[in-house]
A and B are shown apart, each in its own frame.
Chain A
């Protein structure tokens, strides 16, 4: 009898259902949402890259923030909507923010290497930002591969980097998200993409998008989540923005891609201290500034074990490790990144 009373038939609300299917219809038939950025101005341009400046609403902190996003995706995930914008929230908290958009390389950029990206693009952009801000020091915030490049820059530059924040950063490539035998095959050279990279010259965005899809396996979660919560307009709006960003992939310079696969994924040179950029040895122990490393609990693209070794490799006395309840992309999508970084930075942003 008790079992009978506990069993309930699924009940659906007509209004909710109407809204759900109406929203789903819109998702399928309406154009992708337009992403409006926070108020910004371009400070410097080089080739396809742009340095954007997002002024603080009311400046409360002396040291400006310089954000470096991954080379593999477009950086507008950091400013995807007014409510959840990482950059917008940092502006609200009184920080001047600079964000470096690498741009999407064309065939003419096939020869751009990581050396060029770090020394000719990133270092110059930080120099421009320092000059523009008239600040003696800056906080460098790198995300994903952007974090790896930021760490490389911090270890070889003489620029005044006061704080270094590395989020979801792959540093140690002895292990990554591929199955064990694939990782081993990449390490011993059984699996090499060199010829394909040379053939393509510039890696097409479709290739990168498909690779990301493949790495996620059966990734039906987002679609199921959409159907489950389609009656919630806010959720649908967020989902559509995320969907647009996921499909809006970038191309990748062949030379840089090859260097990344061989020097980082295959030979793990960064951790071994064997990496060189334009003849300069990338020695992470030369990083002495304050360091914050953030990893996400549900990150399925960059493992925690890939980020953690940086804590031991640097010489910084002031170093903090923080684990955030989020995924690789959702930490940015939800704006959580800003709230994870802000408390740490706020105590370290005075000249």
Chain B
């Protein structure tokens, strides 16, 4: 304890009273902790209760005779207000429940709409893709037709080429024949020359 506290009469008084309070409380608890006092208390509670009951009964009786409302009458009216409040609460809860259902339905609708939107978007994308594919397919068909045309033309060309080849073969044969004839002519010329030379000699 500091000197200041030691020297403060109020602090000493407080400490002393604290000690006294504790001591007295312990004594009080010890002294009231007995069955006789409990029995006495129970008896006192009974008597007091009977007194209150009688008082209330008489109060009601007097009020009835004097034709004035009692606290019970006021309480009964007040109870009606409480009941009305309870009904409002029940209604409020039902409104909340409805609000929640609407909110949930709304949420689900939003979800569904979002899904539909997503699906439509996908459809659109697919549509665009299909359109592209179709255009490409058309392009390919045209190209195919063109190619077929070209193929037909190529076939004609091939026929022509074959004909040309045939002619070339024919021409080659002709050339061979010409060469043979040329060889024969040359040989005849040589023979003729030899015959002429032989004759001169």
A interface residues (Cβ-Cβ under 8 A, vs B):
8, 10-12, 46-47, 106-110, 120, 124, 127, 131, 179-182, 185, 190-193, 195-196, 198-200, 217-221, 224-225, 227-228
A120 touches B86 (CB 8 A): yes
A191 touches B38 (CB 8 A): yes
Chain B contacts for A228, CB-based, 8 A: 10-11, 13-14
B8 touches A124 (CB 8 A): no
A221 touches B17 (CB 8 A): yes
Known interface pairs A108-B75, A191-B41. Does A217 touch B29 (Cβ–Cβ under 8 Å)? yes
B28 touches A218 (CB 8 A): yes
Say yes or no for B25: interface residue by CB 8 A criterion.
Answer: yes
Chain A contacts for B141, CB-based, 8 A: none
Say yes or no for B193: interface residue by CB 8 A criterion.
Answer: no
Query: What are the 3 tightest A-B residue pairs by CB atom distance, in nearest-first order?
Result: A179-B33, A108-B75, A107-B75
A200 vs B78: C-alpha distance when bound (angstroms): 18
Contact pick for B82, options A47, A182, A196, CB 8 Å: A47
Contact pick for A217, options B25, B33, B45, B46, CB 8 Å: B25
Chain A contacts for B39, CB-based, 8 A: 190
CB distance from B110 to the nearest CB of A (A): 18
Known interface pairs A106-B75, A191-B38, A227-B10. Does A221 touch B18 (Cβ–Cβ under 8 Å)? yes
Chain A contacts for B33, CB-based, 8 A: 179-182
Contacting A at CB under 8 A, from B34-75, are: 34-35, 38-39, 41-42, 45-46, 48-50, 52-53, 56, 71-72, 74-75
The proximity string for B residues 1-31 relative to A, scoring 1 for CB distances below 8 Å and 0 otherwise, is 0010011111111100110110011001100
Known interface pairs A108-B76, A199-B53, A200-B52. Does A217 touch B28 (Cβ–Cβ under 8 Å)? yes
Identity of the chain B residue whose Cβ is nearest the Cβ of A201 in the assembled complex: B56
* Additional 5 contacts, C-beta under 8 A, given A46-B86, A218-B21: A11-B7, A108-B79, A120-B86, A191-B42, A221-B17
Say yes or no for B102: interface residue by CB 8 A criterion.
Answer: no
Chain A contacts for B28, CB-based, 8 A: 217-218
Known interface pairs A181-B38, A196-B49. Does A108 touch B89 (Cβ–Cβ under 8 Å)? no
A49 vs B48: C-alpha distance when bound (angstroms): 31
Chain A contacts for B196, CB-based, 8 A: none
Say yes or no for B85: interface residue by CB 8 A criterion.
Answer: yes
Chain A contacts for B86, CB-based, 8 A: 46, 120
Say yes or no for B197: interface residue by CB 8 A criterion.
Answer: no
A180, A181, A200, A224: residue with the most chain B Cβ atoms closer than 10 Å: A224
CB distance from A63 to the nearest CB of B (A): 21
A193 touches B17 (CB 8 A): no
B interface residues (Cβ-Cβ under 8 A, vs A):
3, 6-14, 17-18, 20-21, 24-25, 28-29, 32-35, 38-39, 41-42, 45-46, 48-50, 52-53, 56, 71-72, 74-76, 78-79, 82, 85-86, 89, 93, 96
CB distance from A345 to the nearest CB of B (A): 27
A107 vs B85: C-alpha distance when bound (angstroms): 17
Chain B contacts for A8, CB-based, 8 A: 3, 6-7
B45 touches A221 (CB 8 A): no
Identity of the chain A residue whose Cβ is nearest the Cβ of B32 in the assembled complex: A179
Chain A contacts for B12, CB-based, 8 A: 10
A249 vs B89: C-alpha distance when bound (angstroms): 28
Known interface pairs A218-B28, A228-B10. Does A124 touch B34 (Cβ–Cβ under 8 Å)? no
Chain A contacts for B53, CB-based, 8 A: 199
Chain B contacts for A107, CB-based, 8 A: 71-72, 74-75, 78
Identity of the chain B residue whose Cβ is nearest the Cβ of A109 in the assembled complex: B82
Contact pick for A131, options B10, B13, B96, CB 8 Å: B96
CB distance from A102 to the nearest CB of B (A): 14
Identity of the chain A residue whose Cβ is nearest the Cβ of B42 in the assembled complex: A191
Chain A contacts for B17, CB-based, 8 A: 220-221, 224
A185 touches B38 (CB 8 A): yes
B13 touches A224 (CB 8 A): yes
Identity of the chain B residue whose Cβ is nearest the Cβ of A11 in the assembled complex: B7
B85 touches A12 (CB 8 A): no
B8 touches A10 (CB 8 A): yes
CB distance from A151 to the nearest CB of B (A): 24
Identity of the chain B residue whose Cβ is nearest the Cβ of A230 in the assembled complex: B10
Known interface pairs A10-B7, A198-B49, A228-B11. Does A192 touch B56 (Cβ–Cβ under 8 Å)? no
Identity of the chain A residue whose Cβ is nearest the Cβ of B78 in the assembled complex: A108
Chain B contacts for A200, CB-based, 8 A: 52
Known interface pairs A182-B38, A190-B38, A191-B41. Does A218 touch B52 (Cβ–Cβ under 8 Å)? no
Known interface pairs A107-B71, A218-B21. Does A179 touch B78 (Cβ–Cβ under 8 Å)? no
CB distance from B164 to the nearest CB of A (A): 90
